[in-house]
Amino acid sequence: MAAAIKRPGWIRGALGATLGAAFGLALVVVLREISGLSAFQTEQTGYPQVVVPLVTGPLGFLAGFGCFDYWLRWAAGMPTIPEDHSQHGARSWRDYLRFNTDHKVIGIQYICTNFFFFFVSGLMAMLIRAELAQPGTQIVDAATFNGLFSAHAAIMIFVFIVPVFAGIANYVLPLMIGAPDMAFPRLNALSFWMLPIAGLMFVGSFLAPGGAFDAGWTGYAPLSTGAPLGQSFFNLGVQFAGASSIATALNFLVTIITMRAPGMTFWRMPLLVWANLSTSLLVVAATPFIAGAQFMVLFDRALGTQFFQFAGGGDVISYQHIFWFYSHPAVYIMMLPGFGIISEVISIHSRKPIFGYRLMALALIGIVVLSYSVWAHHMFVAGMFSWLRVPMMITTLLIAVPTGIKIFSWLGTLYFGKIHTYSTAMLFALAFIVTFTIGGISGVMLGMVPIDIHVSDTYFIVAHIHFVLFGGSVFTIFAGIYHWFPKMTGRMYDERLGRVHFWGTLVGTWGTFLPMHWVGMDGMPRRVADYAAQFGDWNLLISIFAFILGAVQLVFLYNMVVSWRFGPRAEANPWRGKSIEWQVSSPPPIFNFDEIPRVVGGPYEFGVPGARHAIMGGEAEVAKPEPAAVGSK
Amino acid sequence: MLGATIALTVAISAVMVSIHWNGQEASTAAPKIDELLNVMIVISSFVFSLVMVVLFYALWKFRVKPGDESDGEPIHGNTRLEVAWTVIPTIIVLFGAGYSWAVLHDIEKTDRNPLTVDVFSQQFAWSFGYPGKDNAYSEGELHVPLDRQVHFKMHSLDVIHSFWVPEWRIKKDNVPGITTTAIVTPDRLGAYQLICTELCGFGHSTMRAKVVVERPADFRAWVGGLKREVPPPYLETIRQDTETDPIPVGAGGA
C-alpha cells in the first residue's frame, strides 16, 4: 500500500484529489471563520466551499497522478529520475490509463475520451430533440432544458471537437514530419489529463444545486453572473479545457517548427501539418481571452467584482467582445484541422497531387489573419457601436475567399484523378464538400448585416452552426478517424458498416439541420423550450431525423470497438499514401523510427514518375535523381 | 458543364426565390431585406451549383475502373485558375458587402418626425411607454401607428433581452445600463408578435408581447385611453442608461 501511494498512478491521484479538495475546503472555512463569517455560504452565485475545492481538487489529482513529478524534482534541485522510457508507449491496455508520454498513446487517450463525451453530449441532444418534437412541455422543464442545450454545446465544443483534432494530430503529426515524438512529451501528457477534468465538470454541473449552467455555452453576462452554482462549474471547466488547448498548441508549434525531418522544408509539409500550424497560431493567442472572460464572470459571481455589472460601473457588452474575440477564432480552430484531414484524404483517394498546394497553405494563413478581425459579427444586434458593424461585415465576407479557395482546390484535385470511393473516409470527405458549401453559404448570408438582423438568434443560426460544425467539423473528424484507423490500431475497420454509418449520418444531418433554416427565418427563436404551434410539424420532422442521426452513431461505435479488437490486420500502407506515417508499420513502433527519415520531395507526388516524399532509414540509398519540381507547382 | 451549372442555378433559384422564407412583410425595411436575401440566394445558387456540377461530374467521369491501380495525372495546379477563383469570389463578396451596406443605410435612415416609444424588458415581460400623454404606459401589448417611423428606445431592467418582430425584420438587444435604438416604419395594419430572442432565463420561451399596428387616429385614441403611467423605477432607468449610440449608422437622413 505504501508503495502504491508513493508511485504515481490512480491511487496517489485519488489521494491527491482528496487532499487538494480538503485543503481548498479548509482554506475557505478557516479564512471565513477568521473574518467572522459563517463557515459556509450558500448564495447561488457564491458557494466558495465548492468553488475553491473545484480548483484545488483537480490540481491535487494531477499532482498525485504524476503529471508534475519530473518537473518538481527538477525545480527542487533533486536528482531527476533517469528516463527509462517506462512512461513511454503502450504494451498493454493498462498503459492507456496512466500518465504516458508517448504521442501515440496520448492521441488514442484523447480520441477515446473525446468520443466518450461526444456520446454523452449526443444523448443530451436526443433529450433536447425529444422535448422539441411537440410544442408544449413534455419531458423536461424549461430550466432543465436550458441546462441541457448549454451543456450539449459546451461539451461538444470544449471536450469533443477542439480536442479530438488535437488527438488526431497528436497521433499522426509527429509521424508525418518524421519526428520521434512531440517536442514536450510530459507537457503533452499533462495537456491530455486536464481534459477529462473539464468534461467531468461540465457533466457534474447537473448535480450542483440549481442545476447545470443554463446561460448557453456563450454564458452572456449578466444572466451568467447571476446564475446558480452550475455556472461556476462552467467557468472553471473552461479553464482546464483552455489550459489544455494552449499547452497543446504550443507543443504543436514547437514540434512543427523545430522537429521536422531533414529535408522537410515548409513547402514540403503535408497540408495537415500546415492546418495544425495555423490552428495552433489561433489557439495560443485567442484562447486566453475566453479564459479571461470566464474568470471575470467567476469573480463577478464569487468575489463581488463589477466587470459586467452596470450598476457598479461595469460594461455588459464588453463581455461579448472578449468572449467572441476567442469564440470566433474558435470556429476556425474547429475547422482548419478538418481542412487538413480532407486534403490528405482527397489527395490519396483521387491519386493526384493537391491542386494549388501553396495557395492551399496560404489560404490557411489568410483565414488565421482574417479570423481575428471578424468577432463582432456575432454582435450586429447587440447594441454595440453601429459603425463597427460595417468593417466587421466586410472582413467576415472576405473570409469566404480563402475558404472558397480550399473548396475549389479540392475540386481541382479530384478532377483528372483516379477517384476511389471504397473508403468511408473518402465518402465523408466528399460529403463534407457538399455540406460545408451549404454552411459556408449560410455563413456569408449571416455576415450581411441586414439579413443578420432578421435571423440572428433564430433557428437559422442553429442550422448554420450545425452545418459547419456537424456537417463540417464532425464529418472531417469521421474522415480522419476512418482514414488513420488502420495506422492507429493495426486493424482494418468494416467498410460495409462504415457505409451504413456514412449514409445514415448524411441523411440524418441534412434532415435534421436543413429544415431548421426555414423555421428560423419564419420566426422561431433559438434556445426555447417551447414554441408556437405553427412550427410543430417541422419540429417533429427535425426530431425524427435527429434520432436517426443519433442511432446511426451506435453503428460507428460498434464498428470501431469490434474492428479494433477483431478486425483483419492492416498493412502498413493500406491507402498507398506517400506521406511518412504510411511508411512505418501499423501500428508504428514505439519510438516511431529506427532512423529519422530524409525528406526529398513534396508529400503528394502521385503520378510523378520516380518521385519520393521521404527515404526511410535503413533503406538502401537509391541513387535515383530526384525530380526537379518536387513540392511545388 | 457551364450549361449544367446555369440550368441548375436557374432551377434552384426559381424555387428558392418563389418561397417567402421570411414570412409576411410588414415594415418598409422588410421588402428591402428580402430583396437582398433573394439576390444573395441567386448568387449562392450559382456558387452551389458550380461546386455540385464539378464535383459530381468529376465523380462520374474520373471514378476509377475496377482493378485500376494507376495514379491520376500529376497536375500540381494552374496559376490562372487559382487567380480566378481568388479574384472572382473577392469581387462577389465585396459586391455583397456594398449592397448590404446600402440596404443597411437605407433601412436605418431617420425621418424628420419620428414617434419615440420606450421599451422596457425584464424577466419575462415587455412593457412600453408612449409620448404625448404623461408617461402613458402599457404592459404586454404594444401599439404603433401605421406608416410613421417609430424609434424604439430600449431598456432592460435585469439581463439582456432582444426585441424581435419577425414581420418587421428588426431585432435589437435590450442591454442593462445602456439605451439601444431600433428604427421601424410599420406599413401594414394588423396584429403581430414581439418575441424575445436573447436567452434570458427559464421563462425565455414565454417572453412574448402582442404588437398592434393601427391607423394613427386609432393609435391616438388607444394611447389616450391608457390609465397607467410609467412606474418611477422605469423612468429612473431612462435617466441613468447611457445612450452610447443614439442613431444607428447615423449618417442616414439625420
Which of B43, B62, B76 best probes binding to A when mutated, by most A CB atoms within 10 angstroms?
A: B76
Residue A89 resides in a domain:
no
* β partners of residue B211: B142, B192
Tell me the count of A-B CB pairs closer than 8 A: 270
Q: How many CB atoms lie within 10 A of CB A606?
A: 23
For B70, which of A394, A418, A458 is closest by C-beta distance? A418
Residue of chain B whose alpha carbon sits nearest to that of A454: B169
pLDDT at A627 over 80: no
pLDDT digits (tens, 9 = 90+) for B104-135: 999 999 888 899 999 999 999 999 999 876 78
Residue A632 — pLDDT band, cuts 50, 70, 90? Answer: very low
Go through the domains of chain B in sequence order and give each one's CATH number: 2-62+78-107 (no CATH), 115-240 (2.60.40.420)
Start-to-end CA span in chain A (Å): 63
- Say whether both A456 and A605 belong to one domain: no
Among A128, A370, A397, A519, the residue to mutate for chain B (most B Cβ within 10 A): A397
Q: Are residues A342 and A373 in the same domain?
A: yes
The span from the CA of A192 to the CA of A104, in Å, is 12
Q: What domain range is A297 assigned to?
A: 104-566
Q: Is A86 part of any domain?
A: no
List the single residue in A316, A353, A530 with the smallest CB-CB distance to B206.
A530
Q: Which strands sit side by side in the sheet containing B180-184, from one edge to the other?
A: B136-139, B125-130, B115-122, B150-156, B180-184
Answer yes or no: do A164 and A56 share one domain.
no
Chain A closest-CA separation from residue B52 CA (Å): 7
Q: A34 with A135, same domain?
A: no
| Residue in B with minimal Cα distance to A149 | B199
Q: How far is B239 from chain A (nearest CA, A)?
A: 13
Asked if the structure places residue A93 within a domain, the reply is: no
**Chain B residue closest in CA terms to A135:** B205
- Substitution target in A45, A217, A360, A381 with the highest count of B β-carbons within 10 Å is A381
Separation between Cα atoms, residue A233 and residue A242, nearest integer Å: 14
* B21, B75, B198: residue with CB nearest A522: B21
**CATH number reported for the structural domain that contains residue A230 in this entry:** 1.20.210.10
How many folded domains does chain A comprise?
3
Out of A566, A590, A616, a domain closes at: A566
Same domain for A164 and A45? no
User: Residue A250 — very low, low, confident or very high, per pLDDT cuts 50/70/90?
Assistant: very high
Q: Which residues of A touch B81 (CB under 8 A)?
A: 356, 412
pLDDT tens-digit profile of A583-626?
999 999 999 998 999 999 999 999 999 889 999 876 655 444 44
- B174 neighbors B196 (Cβ within 8 angstroms): no
Integer CA distances (angstroms), A215 to A222, A452, A587, in order? 9, 22, 44
Q: How far is B224 from chain A (nearest CA, A)?
A: 32
Say how far residue B147 (Cα) sits from the centre of its chain.
19
**CA of A153, closest CA in chain B: separation in Å?**
14
User: What percent of chain A has pLDDT above 90?
Assistant: 87
Whether A556 maps to a domain, the answer reads yes
Three cell numbers, residue B107: 433601412
Confidence (pLDDT) at B248: 53
Cβ distance of A453 and B90 shorter than 8 Å: no
- Determine contact: B183 vs chain A, CB below 8 A: no
- Summarize the confidence of residues A457-478 as an average pLDDT: 96
A389 with B104: Cβ contact below 8 A: yes
A194 shares its domain with A182? yes
Average pLDDT over residues B219-246: 88
Q: What is the pLDDT of residues A557-576, one digit of tens each?
A: 999 999 999 999 999 999 99
Query: Which residues from A are below 8 Å from B64, CB to CB?
Result: 351, 418-420
In a domain, residue A46? The reply is yes
From chain B, the residues in CB contact with A522 under 8 A are 21-23, 166
Q: Please choose, from the candidates B46, B208, B28, the residue with its C-alpha nearest in 3D space to the C-alpha of residue B127.
A: B208
Measured from the Cβ of residue A435, the count of other Cβ atoms closer than 10 Å reads: 24
Verify that A44 and A192 share a domain, yes or no. Answer: no
- Chain A residues with beta carbon closer than 8 angstroms to that of B94: 394, 397-398
Residue of A393, A404, A419 lying closest to B62 (CB–CB): A419
User: Which residue among A537, A566, A595 closes a domain?
Assistant: A566
Q: Do the chains contact at B175 and A394, CB–CB below 8 Å?
A: no
- Does A91 fall in a domain? no
Q: Does residue A110 sit in the same domain as residue A229?
A: yes
pLDDT per residue as tens digits for the range A439-451: 999 999 999 999 9
A277 and A398 inside one domain: yes
Answer yes or no: do A471 and A537 share one domain.
yes
Query: Do A345 and A365 share a structural domain?
Result: yes
Which B positions 14-33 lie with beta carbon below 8 A of chain A? 21-23, 29, 32-33
User: Does residue A319 form part of some domain?
Assistant: yes
**A214/B70 CB distance under 8 A:** no
Q: What is the dihedral of CA A483, A619, A174, A365, to 10 degrees?
A: -80
Q: Are residues A140 and A203 in the same domain?
A: yes
HSE-up of A115 (CA within 13 Å, CB side)? 17
Q: What is the pTM of this model?
A: 0.94
Residue after which a domain boundary falls, among A75, A96, A122: A75
A187, part of any domain: yes
Which pLDDT value is given to residue A618? Answer: 64
Neighboring chain B residues of A605 at a CB cutoff of 8 Å:
74
CB-CB under 8 Å, A393 with B162: no
